[in-house]
Amino acid sequence: MAFALSSMQVTSTAFGQLEAIPARYTGEGDDVSPPLAWHGVPEGTKGFAVICHDPDAPLVKEGRYGFVHWMLYNLPGDITGLDENTPMGTAGRNDFDKPGYGGPMPPEGHGKHLYYFLVLALDHQTSLPEGLSVAELLEEVEPHLLGIDRLVGFYQRN
């Protein structure tokens, strides 16, 4: 992915930077996506994409490491965030091999995992089909990336 400096900042009312993700947003809870907000988006932003990735997961797949929990794209450029369990956008295929959000749930006894909620600001509004893999999504959006930021939370299975 291209390096895209940006002043964009991603936050959530559910958890802060490097704080615990509440169980509600995990596979052990209600398994709903958390609310996210962003500000300071790059000038010229026309669309967004969101990815939730767990780099601590013991998985190597298609030349990448970790586990993709969520991909959402075709988001308009005039929004400033997503509600909890958002109906907006188009869902990609996560590593549970399902569309939509699949919350944190590290393997039992695996300890604490970090979860990166990445927001990508794009120079155009996408109209991509549902069910893309992370590789397919990144191939489509990388040339249009204006900026990126992430909110990192952690979760440890009970």
In-domain check, residue 36 = yes
* Domain around 152: 9-156
| pTM over cut 0.85 | yes
CATH number at residue 108: 3.90.280.10
Count: domains in the chain: 1
pLDDT digits over 62-120, tens only?
A: 666 889 999 999 999 999 999 999 999 999 999 999 999 999 999 888 899 999 999 99
In-domain check, residue 116 = yes
C-alpha dist (Å) from residue 64 to 8, 47, 83, 85, 125: 26, 25, 29, 27, 27
Buried/exposed 88-101: b ≥16 CB within 10 Å, e otherwise? ebbbbbbbbeebbb
